[in-house]
Structure 1
Amino acid sequence: MRSTVQNVMTTDVAAVNQNASFHTVAELLISRGVSGVPVLDDDNRVLGVVSEADLLAKEEFKERYYGDDYRPPLRARIRHTAGSEGSGYRKSLGETAGALMTSPAHVTTPGAAIVTAARLMDRHGVKRLPVVDPDGRLIGIVSRRDLIKVFLRRDQDIEQEVREALHGRADVAVTDAVVTLTGTYAERSHAVTAVRLAENIDGVVAVRDELAWKHDDIADLPMWGGA
Structure 2
Amino acid sequence: MKHLRTVDDVMTRTVVSVDRGTAFKDIAETLRMWHVSVVPVLSGDGRVVGVVSEADLLLRTQDEAGASHDTVAERLMTRPAVTVRRDTTIAGAARLMARGHLKRLPVVDGEGRLVGVVSRGDLLRVYLRPDADIGAEVRELIMYQLLPHRLAEVHVHVADGIVHLRGTLPDADVRDVVVRAARGVPGVVDVEADFSVPVPT
Unaligned runs of 5+ in 2: 145-152
2:42 pairs with 1:40:
yes
- After TM superposition, give the deviation of residue 123 of structure 1 in Å: 2.3
2:125 pairs with 1:149:
yes
- After TM superposition, give the deviation of residue 192 of structure 1 in Å: 3.0
Residue in structure 1 matched with residue 196 of structure 2 by the alignment: 212
Q: Is the 8 A contact 2:42 2:49 kept in 1?
A: yes
Inter-partner Cα distance in structure 2 for 1:47 and 1:214: 58
Residue deviations 1:32-71, cap 9 Å, x none? 10000000011111010001011112322356xxxx49xx
Residue in structure 1 matched with residue 187 of structure 2 by the alignment: 203
AA matched with 2:53 = S
Residue in structure 2 matched with residue 160 of structure 1 by the alignment: 136
- Map of 1:104-115 to 2, 5 A cutoff? 104-115=80-91
Residue in structure 2 matched with residue 53 of structure 1 by the alignment: 55
Residue in structure 2 matched with residue 138 of structure 1 by the alignment: 114
Q: Is the 8 A contact 1:17 1:40 kept in 2?
A: yes
Among 170, 191, 195, the residue aligned to 2:154: 170
Partner secondary structure for residue 204 of structure 1: coil
AA matched with 1:10 = T
CA pair 41-196 structure 1, distance change in 2 beyond 3 A: same
Residue in structure 1 matched with residue 9 of structure 2 by the alignment: 7
Inter-partner Cα distance in structure 2 for 1:205 and 1:23: 42
Kindly report the root-mean-square deviation, in angstroms, between the aligned alpha carbons of the 2 structures: 2.0
TM-score of the two chains, using structure 1 as the length reference:
0.77
AA matched with 1:38 = P
AA matched with 1:108 = V
Residue deviations 1:100-146, cap 9 Å, x none? 11111011101111122122222222221111111110001111111
Bigger mean CA deviation after superposition, 134-143 or 180-189 = 180-189
- After TM superposition, give the deviation of residue 185 of structure 1 in Å: 1.7
Inter-partner Cα distance in structure 2 for 1:106 and 1:16: 16
Partner secondary structure for residue 37 of structure 1: strand
AA matched with 1:213 = V
Partner secondary structure for residue 170 of structure 2: strand
Residue in structure 1 matched with residue 21 of structure 2 by the alignment: 19
Partner secondary structure for residue 87 of structure 2: coil
Among 103, 108, 111, the residue aligned to 1:127: 103
CA pair 93-29 structure 1, distance change in 2 beyond 3 A: closer
Residue in structure 1 matched with residue 92 of structure 2 by the alignment: 116
CA pair 62-135 structure 1, distance change in 2 beyond 3 A: closer
Inter-partner Cα distance in structure 2 for 1:61 and 1:196: 49
- After TM superposition, give the deviation of residue 93 of structure 1 in Å: 7.9
Partner secondary structure for residue 186 of structure 1: coil
